[in-house]
A and B are shown apart, each in its own frame.
Chain A
Amino acid sequence: MTHRSIRQSLYDYLRGELPQADQQRVAGHLTSCESCRAEMDELKSALEMVELHAVRPSDERPEEFWKAFPYQVEERVKQGSDRKTQSLPSLIAKFIALNRRAVIFGGSALALGAICVAALVIFRTHPPENPTAGVEQPTQQQPSLQSNGYVEPASLRLHQYLRKSKVLFIGIANMNTEKEGAVDLSSERKVSRDLIEEARYLQSQPLDRRSERLIGDMEKILIELANMKEQNELPNVEMIRGGIHQENLLFKIRMAESLYDTTAAIQGSNF
């Protein structure tokens, strides 16, 4: 047994779930291998810590809750078939009637958003002359930076990195999950790998904290995606999508891009 296979078996070993022969083999290895033993100690303390406070959430619900549960499911099954017969316009009308305040507030927010977008578009008509947002000022240890003060490669690469990541994540977020069967993720995997390499370069540059954090957040998802099989099943894609939504990555990227553009435009207009 290799160190890797021993470490993979440690969880089952600690819970006594390995076959007798394997249990003895792992025990034998642990007596002679210090690093695997340290690994086991660490895992053991993790198990104790998590298990100590593990209460089954279902036990927190009273028995009446569980008696009603199957009937509530049946009710939802019936409602589900009723809901299918309702038309979209009638649902929208019902929503507006129930949420009048929210609709007015939402409309105002949309109008305000439209004004902001228009302002951004006006700013963007002035070409940025010194787009340094997202990247701190160059130091002497940055030979890749150009000396004429007009273009910073790291800044441009950050901008491109964000744009490519956004396109990749939007593609995954909009992937059709209704169809059956495996999904081809070969191109997404390749793009993820390229982006991980690019992230490594950017992380070696003097970035501001916001950009550093964003790159770190995106990297977790990109690594998961890069390590997926080429032909993949929808549940795995759903997990990636869940990660993108949970980290709120698309919003963060858009914010970073708009801040980048605005700062660049303001700096450009000052010249």
Chain B
Amino acid sequence: MRAFRLLVESYMRQAYNIAYGVLSNHDDAQDVAQESFVRVFQSLKSFRGDAQFSTWLYRIVMNVSLNHVSRRKTKFEHEARIDDETRLAIAADVVPKYTQDVRAHVERALHELPTLQRSVVILRHLNGLSTKQVSGILRCSEGTVKTHLHRGLKKMRSLLGFLESEVV
């Protein structure tokens, strides 16, 4: 169990950030990240070691996050939760109010993207994983990752165009 705790400590922040990218909610990100580690623990024996541990873990985080989204059922519910009190309360001490507002817009724009584009932007751009690692997590080619990243970021820019005049 001690070895497992070390694994959790090494990867918990990154797993949390990936889950947050999909869910835009701190409580849900905590729940999903912890649930992912539970699944990892339960299936450690089946880990064949033919991929990096982090690739395997982040794939589980993505799957659990997407399942969590599907359980929320409606987009309306999701959008309402982005603005929930928990997020604002947690962010209040760390992030200035203006940045919080803009971040909410960025998160909304992210959630307007098709699932694959969104996943690529979250993993590659927001979490800084390499193209190769993202292609391993999503089980698609590196070319697909690059194409979806490019398209996703361009679409986000067009969705956030109205902020341009406010950005200094």
Contact = CB atoms under 8 A, between A and B. Distances in A.
A49 B63 contact: no
B72 to A, nearest CB: 8
Residue of A12, A43, A73, A238 with most partner-chain B CB within 10 A? A73
- Provide the main secondary structure of the chain B interface: helix
B66 A242 contact: yes
Contacts of A60: 26, 90-91, 94-95
Given A49-B106, A234-B63, 15 more contacts: A43-B154, A47-B153, A50-B126, A55-B95, A57-B21, A60-B95, A69-B9, A70-B9, A73-B38, A80-B38, A220-B114, A238-B62, A239-B119, A246-B70, A251-B74
A52 B105 CA distance: 13
Interface in A236-260: 236, 238-248, 251
A270 to B, nearest CB: 35
Residue of B5, B63, B106, B150 with most partner-chain A CB within 10 A? B150
A42 B157 CA distance: 8
Interface residues on A, range: 35 or more
A238 B146 contact: no
B138 interface: yes
B73 A245 contact: yes
Contact of B115 (A11, A55, A80, A239): A239
A22 interface: no
Interface string B84-115: 00000011001100010011001000000011
- Provide the main secondary structure of the chain A interface: helix
Interface string A54-72: 1111111100001001101
B41 interface: yes
Interface of B: 1, 4-5, 8-9, 12-14, 16-17, 20-21, 26, 29-30, 33-35, 37-38, 41-42, 59, 62-63, 66-67, 69-75, 78, 90-91, 94-95, 99, 102-103, 106, 114-116, 119, 124-126, 131, 137-140, 143, 146-147, 149-150, 153-154, 156-157, 160, 163-164, 167
Nearest to A81: B42
Contacts of A45: 157, 164
Interface stretch (A2-10, A114-122, A124-132, A160-168): A2-10
Contact of A235 (B17, B94, B138): B138
